[in-house]
Amino acid sequence: MITISGERLIVDNEHAEFSQIILDGRSADIYEGVDPSSLNMIVIYDDMTGLFITLDSEIEIAELILIAESIG
């Protein structure tokens, strides 16, 4: 699922490992699920628009990063 929002975002990080990367010059938070029932999530903040772009799925985090890169 891809969501775009200008509101505050709350993420359940109890069941995920957290890391950060840069995607196309934007900071992105990675939440990789620690067990098969947990979703993987990428949260990208766009400074220019003030919007959060979130992608969450059961697919591998590497594939989710490729999708995030294609959003541009």
Note the pLDDT of residue 50: 85
| pLDDT value at residue 1 | 66
pLDDT tens column, 45-58: 888 888 888 899 99
For residues 43 and 53, give the distance between their C-alpha atoms in angstroms, rounded to a whole number.
Answer: 6
CB 15 within 8 A of CB 34: yes
User: Higher pLDDT residue, 11 or 43?
Assistant: 43
Is the pTM of the predicted complex or chain greater than 0.85? no
Q: What is the pLDDT of residues 8-42, one digit of tens each?
A: 767 777 788 999 999 988 889 999 988 888 889 99
Residue span of the structural domain in which 16 resides: 2-71
Q: Which long-range contacts (CB under 8 A, 24 or more apart) does 16-25 make?
A: 16/40, 16/41, 21/65, 23/65, 23/68, 23/69, 24/69, 24/72
Looking at the 3D structure of the chain, how many domains does it have? 1
